[in-house]
Amino acid sequence: MRTRGSIALLILDVDGVLTDGRLYFGARGEALKVFDVRDGYGLVALQRAGVTVAVISGRRAGAVRARCRELGIRHVYQGVADKLAVFERLRARLKLARGACACVGDDLPDVPLMKAVGLSFAVADAHAGARRAAHFVTRHGGGRGAVREVCDLLLARRARGGRAR
């Protein structure tokens, strides 16, 4: 797998990527989500290395806003029907080429974005369509270390001067 240049922006889906995709509902109807602490550590390390992290999710949840705030992720877009359009606006604002962007997805709504970026990842338990669209499929499932795996790969790639495995 080869891409040009180094990755400056990593875009993440939430349900099925940062979480295992299951939704827990409390007695008052609030959705509860479980995040992997190792994924969080990887995202903080990636940001410290100079990579911007963004979240683009089709659903809205207060838990996502709280987790992103905790991790220092400033670009958080929830309730998004057209992830590609949001990506293009963010990319333009950050003045980045498509090739300098990466994303992690798990299902069909992520595929247009996965095809638009320079480097795309699908989590191990992703829908077959997302796995086919990805340049790389993680060994770990969503919410179970897949994002950490991506962060570690991107950090190692930066250390090698942008070269992938």
Tens digits of residue pLDDT in 152-161: 999 998 888 7
Q: What is the pLDDT of residue 123?
A: 98
Q: What is the pLDDT of residue 165?
A: 46
Q: What's the pLDDT score for residue 26?
A: 83
Domains defined along the chain, listed by start: 9-159 (3.40.50.1000)
Rounded to two decimals, the pTM is 0.92
Residue 104: partners with Cβ closer than 8 Å, 6 or more residues away:
10, 11, 12, 13, 17, 120, 121, 122, 123, 138, 146, 147, 150
pLDDT (0 to 100) of residue 2: 40
